[in-house]
Chains A and B, each alone.
Chain A
Amino acid sequence: MKVSLVWHTPNPERTIAVAMRRCYSTKPIEDIEVELEQKGREYWKYLLTRALQDKSLDVFEHYCLELLIEDTPEAEMRRVATAYPFIRLLPLNGRDWLVAMNARTLIEMWRDEIHKPFASTIVERLNANGTSPVFNSVVFGV
């Protein structure tokens, strides 16, 4: 199984933090974004940690991923897609797939022993690409 990142929500950790702050702030979105930029990564880390602790996984749904998964049999892809209905599959040819998902699904998959190896391959790709280092460290400890 080979995973490539086709697209992801830009600035993922700040996006998750924006969604979280949206619930508690009356400010327009631009002010929230400025506030989050000023407070920096340590604050995003704090917010993401709080979201995980409070089991407020909905905020992670705004971090979306579009993946190319190659060399994976249909049976395995269908098994994962059946277990996680928010995963969307587009078969390309034979064993290659376009896969759309969000970070909440990735977290839930990673916490499930059966699907953890699948999730870990995606997390490894995020890590290797340097994508969402704060998210990776807070959620997966990598």
Chain B
Amino acid sequence: MRVKLLSHTELEAVKYVLRVKNVSFDPSQLLDHVVYMFEIEDCSRVTTHQLVRHRLASYDQESQRFSSASREGFVTPPSVQSNESAMRVYDQALKAAYQAFESMIALGVPKEDARYVLPNAIKTKLVMTVTAKSLMHIVWQRTALQAQWEIKEVVNVMLNLAREATPELWTKIIER
């Protein structure tokens, strides 16, 4: 899994306007005005299904209608990886699904229909633009104790990147 921050609102530019207009800087008022654009790569569709449920963001995701699945392009959860028997079952299931996909393509079934047999473990890529306010809500929900390991990993990286990019905003909010 890889998360990259592609761009973000320059907080200094916004603060300059506040100074010129004699308005005091209150980070909580700017949460709607700071946006981050992320690239998220090679996490499973299980995770992106959860991520896109956060509707106050913009997403564009690799489409399975057009891009090909690859045999290597699957995520294996640690609970499966650490269990030899489960790993065998998992591997067989993925192999069977992938072979079925390939066979259907060979039989002339379009990708958009052949993809129905592909599992949720398949790796995907997406770009996401989100406000600080919406990201904070995502962080609050998806880094909670009961959140799933993979989305927790993704969102923790997003949080670190956002904090690094606009520390003033996040530090002041977290201090509250």
Contacts and interface: CB of A to CB of B under 8 A. Distances in A.
Contacts of A92: 17-18, 21, 23
Contact of A7 (B10, B23, B58, B125): B10
A131 B23 CA distance: 27
A25 B67 contact: yes
Interface residues of B, number: 37
A90 B27 CA distance: 12
Given A7-B9, A58-B58, A22 B126 contact: yes
A53 interface: no
Given A66-B33, A90-B30, A92-B21, A15 B67 contact: no
A9 B58 contact: no
Nearest to B42: A28
Instruction: Please indicate which of the listed interface residues B18, B23, B35, B66 has the most CB atoms of chain A within 10 Å of its own CB.
Output: B35
A61 B30 CA distance: 19
Contacts of B127: 18-19, 22, 29, 62
Nearest to A24: B66
Nearest to B126: A22
A2 interface: no
Contacts of B60: 19-20, 22-23, 58-59, 62
Interface of A is mostly: mixed
Contacts of B37: 9, 15, 62, 64
Nearest to A93: B21
Given A61-B129, A66-B9, A98-B17, 7 more contacts: A7-B10, A9-B37, A23-B60, A29-B125, A66-B13, A88-B33, A90-B30
Interface of B: 2, 4, 6-7, 9-10, 13-14, 16-18, 21-23, 29-30, 32-33, 35, 37, 39, 41, 58-63, 66-68, 70, 125-127, 129, 131
